[in-house]
């Protein structure tokens, strides 16, 4: 187990290194950040000076070494725009994104799994067909439209929820969190709902497919022959056997939402990572983009590791080696 | 023992009575009358063999008794009376009480009838949790004891194992142990040895018989293997295309079958006395149960078929302990 963990950690480091190279090269070939940070009427001498200060006058290889050295020391560079460490900018906004994503994922799972179990256990019922049709909507409706509709109906027409912002936040262990205040919850609900719909639909469909497969198994009938209640058969014996693909998709979707909640955050003016990323791309704020991409890669790698751990917990036949 | 006897004597001799049971499956391609008017009864302490070829509706009888028929299947009519209680019209809650506690099942394939994600202990414990008010310690003790009864050594350790850590024969022992846990009055064993190695089959059958006898339970042994039935069962009921074609005490039926189908089944058992002779078989195959012929279902495969057989379906005629459904039954000693 320890050996496996160490092996996985080394793998993670390797993946992150590859990502760093790709990210660095990509950034170097797109746009010249100098023109974003100096006044338009600067002289050539001023431009050269700015280049030197930013370290852009050196060779690509040298730049990479400086970049790597910085990273290894925990220095991810300073934002050209904000003149602050890029990492601080990211970490400041990460909790906001994590909040809506975690709420969205929990909401998606709580709704999708029971519905998926129901639809998989009773595939021919009208209710199941309605659920499946609904899930198609969830997959095919674009989130910007859903977000706008939610704002239009629930924030403008009926004014139940606020349309934008994060609401009141509370400091908790140095993080600013909205989920600890009622006002914060009011603000979280609409963006989380928007984020969760597609994931909900996908998880629902995967759960249903898994359950339909499981329903045919002998051990389900054997459990019934033991006198187990229908609920016990479905959730105690069936669901866990259908869970491996569900967990896989759940992990992928979690990473996806953290990385690309951008559109939803923009619509609801949610001050998370997505908005920072968009702003940074506009301004060619290279260090921020680099840290952002590295962080996303890191999150994906960690989630993958956790998903693999969950596999072994779900199914004793799966062992790590 | 002395106290148990009067209670036993007071209870009627018949444990299960199935009367004119019809379980049909309404599929897109027509109604499959998997079980079509089956009657039999099982006495206390008796082993009843339910015999027939694949597709004869044997398993459906077992599932019907426990109310485990799922759509498109439906019990159309008939009576299922267990211990004086009408099971056919019992509610689901009542049936759940009976399943496992009064009537337990053993399935065909031990590789698939245990849940791969739960330990053997958990799956055994579930049965006791559902049907007894033992505390955790008592349940554990009972599990160990029953597991040892079915011949699994180091039972306490094995409770923590998962099914994939057992061989096929061991798993079937576990399944039998689960079935016996709550001391059921009736065990329905659906082809319990078909999926096992031949070498293991005899062991498992012996084990089942001993378990049934030791617990004073009854058993319905569903199988296609007449050889198995002749060793195990007290009574035998032969099914063909969802109907009873012959019924009676095992020895009697085996020695002098009345129905040509039973004769055919007996003849297709390899006999050591005729080693070099070509093994007999019943010609043809079970007809499509959705398009049964007019008259006797066995007509196209029967060596004794006559005009009457193609016109009217033979009724089940009872004489003493025996019954058969044939227009031209075999007389004693007659081969074909």
Question: A179-232 pLDDT, tens per residue?
Answer: 777 777 888 888 899 999 999 999 999 999 999 999 989 899 999 999 899 899
Picking from A222, A226, A315, the nearest residue to B130 by CB comes out as A226
Q: What percent of chain A has pLDDT over 70?
A: 97
Contact A266, A277 (CB under 8 A): no
Is it the case that residue B8 has pLDDT exceeding 50? no
Torsion angle defined by CA atoms of residues B177, B179, B185 and B188, in that order, rounded to the nearest 10 degrees: -120
pTM of structure: 0.83
CATH entry 1.10.3720.10 includes domain A93-314:
yes
CA distance A251 to A203: 11
Is it the case that residue B277 has pLDDT exceeding 90? no
Is it the case that residue B5 has pLDDT exceeding 60? no
Q: Which domain holds residue B307?
A: 4-45+52-96+234-270+279-324
Closest C-alpha to B111, from B200, B221, B38 = B200
Q: How many domains, chain B?
A: 1
The domain that holds B86 is classified in CATH as 3.40.50.300
**For residue A208, what are the contacts with CB-CB under 8 A and spacing of at least 6?**
A116, A117, A119, A120, A123, A132
Q: What pLDDT sits at residue B55? A: 67
CA distance A24 to A36: 19
Contact B130 A219 (CB under 8 A): no
Is it the case that residue A259 has pLDDT exceeding 90? no
pLDDT digits (tens, 9 = 90+) for A129-144: 999 999 998 888 888 8
B249 has which bridge partners? B235
Picking from A218, A224, A316, the nearest residue to B112 by CB comes out as A218
Q: What pLDDT sits at residue A143? A: 84
Averaged pLDDT, B59-68? 89
CA distance A289 to A24: 10
Instruction: List chain A domain ranges.
Output: 2-72, 93-314
Residue B68 lies in a domain: yes
Q: Establish if B104 touches chain A: CB-CB under 8 angstroms.
A: yes
How do B235-240 and B47-51 pair as beta strands? Answer: parallel
CA distance A265 to A262: 5
Is it the case that residue B83 has pLDDT exceeding 60? yes
Is it the case that residue A114 has pLDDT exceeding 90? yes
CA distance A237 to A25: 50
Is it the case that residue B11 has pLDDT exceeding 60? no
Is it the case that residue B1 has pLDDT exceeding 60? no
Give the mean pLDDT of chain B.
Answer: 85
**What six digits make up the tokens of A247?**
């967990």
Residue B86 lies in a domain: yes
**For residue A116, what are the contacts with CB-CB under 8 A and spacing of at least 6?**
A203, A204, A205, A206, A207, A208, A210, A211, A246
pLDDT digits (tens, 9 = 90+) for A13-43: 898 889 888 888 887 776 676 776 777 777 8
CA distance A112 to A207: 8
Give whole-number Cα distances, B53 to B225, B226, B330, in Å: 9, 10, 20
Averaged pLDDT, A236-257? 92
**For residue A225, what are the contacts with CB-CB under 8 A and spacing of at least 6?**
B66, B68, B99, B100, B104, B105, B107
**More confident site: A74 or B26:** B26
Q: Compute φ and ψ for B294, nearest 5 degrees.
A: -70, 140
Chain B residue numbers touching A314 (CB-CB < 8 A): 117
Q: Compute φ and ψ for B42, nearest 5 degrees.
A: -125, 125
Chain A residue numbers touching B101 (CB-CB < 8 A): 227
Is it the case that residue A116 has pLDDT exceeding 90? yes
How do B14-27 and B73-82 pair as beta strands? Answer: antiparallel
**What six digits make up the tokens of A226?**
């033991």
Closest residue, chain A, to B72 (C-alpha): A124
Contact A237 B131 (CB under 8 A): no
Contact A225 B104 (CB under 8 A): yes
pLDDT digits (tens, 9 = 90+) for B93-116: 898 999 989 999 998 888 889 999
């Amino acid at each position: 187990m320890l050996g496996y963990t160490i092996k996985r950690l080394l793998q993670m480091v390797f993946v992150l290194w590859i990502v760093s190279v790709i990210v660095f090269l990509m950034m170097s070939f797109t746009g010249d950040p100098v023109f974003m940070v100096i006044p338009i009427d600067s002289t050539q001498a001023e431009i050269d000076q700015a280049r030197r200060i930013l370290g852009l006058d050196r060779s690509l290889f040298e730049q990479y070494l400086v970049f790597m050295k910085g990273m290894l020391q925990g220095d991810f560079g300073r934002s050209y725009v904000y003149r602050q460490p890029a990492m601080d900018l990211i970490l400041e906004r990460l909790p906001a994104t994590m909040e809506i994503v975690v709420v969205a994922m929990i909401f998606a799972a709580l709704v999708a799994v029971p519905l998926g179990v129901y639809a998989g256990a009773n595939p021919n019922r009208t209710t199941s067909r309605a659920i499946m049709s609904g899930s198609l909507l969830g997959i095919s409706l674009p989130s910007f439209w859903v977000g706008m509709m939610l704002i239009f109906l629930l924030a403008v027409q009926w004014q139940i929820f606020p349309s934008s912002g994060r609401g009141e936040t509370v400091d908790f262990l140095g993080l600013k969190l909205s989920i600890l205040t009622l006002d914060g919850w009011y603000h979280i609900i609409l963006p989380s709902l928007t984020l969760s719909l597609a994931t909900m639909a996908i998880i629902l469909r995967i759960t249903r497919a898994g359950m339909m497969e499981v329903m045919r198994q002998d051990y389900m009938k054997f459990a019934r022959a033991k006198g187990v209640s229908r609920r016990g058969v479905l959730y105690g014996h069936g669901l866990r056997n259908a869970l491996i693909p569900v967990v896989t998709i759940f992990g992928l979707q979690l990473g996806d939402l953290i990385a690309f909640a951008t559109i939803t955050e923009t619509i609801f003016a949610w001050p998370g990572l997505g908005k920072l990323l968009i702003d940074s791309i506009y301004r060619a704020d290279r260090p921020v983009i680099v840290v952002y991409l590295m962080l996303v890669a890191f999150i994906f790698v960690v989630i993958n590791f956790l998903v693999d751990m969950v596999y072994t917990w779900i199914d004793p036949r799966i062992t790590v080696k | 023992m002395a106290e148990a006897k009067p209670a036993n004597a007071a209870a009627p001799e018949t444990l299960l009575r199935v009367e004119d049971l019809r379980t049909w499956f309404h599929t897109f391609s027509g109604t499959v009358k998997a079980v079509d008017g089956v009657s039999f009864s099982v006495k206390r302490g008796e082993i009843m063999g339910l015999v027939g070829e694949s597709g004869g509706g044997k398993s459906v009888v077992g599932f019907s008794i426990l109310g485990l028929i799922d759509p498109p299947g439906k019990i159309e009519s008939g009576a299922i009376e267990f211990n004086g209680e009408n099971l056919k019209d019992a509610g689901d809650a009542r049936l759940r009480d009976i399943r496992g506690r009064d009537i337990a099942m053993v399935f065909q394939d031990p590789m698939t009838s245990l849940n791969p994600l739960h330990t053997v202990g958990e799956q055994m414990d579930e049965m006791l949790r559902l049907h007894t008010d033992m505390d955790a310690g008592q349940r554990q003790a009972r599990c160990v004891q029953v597991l040892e009864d079915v011949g699994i050594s180091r039972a306490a350790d094995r409770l923590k194992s998962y099914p994939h850590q057992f061989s096929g024969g061991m798993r079937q022992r576990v399944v039998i142990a689960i079935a016996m846990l709550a001391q059921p009055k009736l065990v329905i064993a659906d082809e319990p040895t078909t999926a096992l190695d031949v070498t293991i089959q005899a062991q498992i059958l012996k084990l089942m018989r001993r378990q049934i006898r030791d617990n004073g339970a009854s058993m319905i042994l569903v199988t296609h293997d007449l050889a198995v039935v002749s060793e195990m069962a007290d009574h035998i009921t032969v099914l063909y295309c969802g109907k009873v074609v012959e019924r009676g005490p095992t020895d009697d039926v085996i020695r002098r079958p009345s129905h040509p189908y039973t004769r055919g089944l007996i003849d297709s058992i390899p006999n050591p006395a005729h080693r070099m002779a070509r093994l007999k078989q019943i010609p043809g195959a079970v007809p499509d149960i959705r398009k049964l012929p007019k008259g006797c279902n066995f007509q196209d495969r029967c060596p004794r078929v006559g005009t009457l057989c193609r016109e009217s379906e033979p009724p089940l005629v009872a004489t003493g302990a025996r019954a058969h459904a044939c227009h031209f039954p075999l007389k004693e000693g007659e081969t074909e």
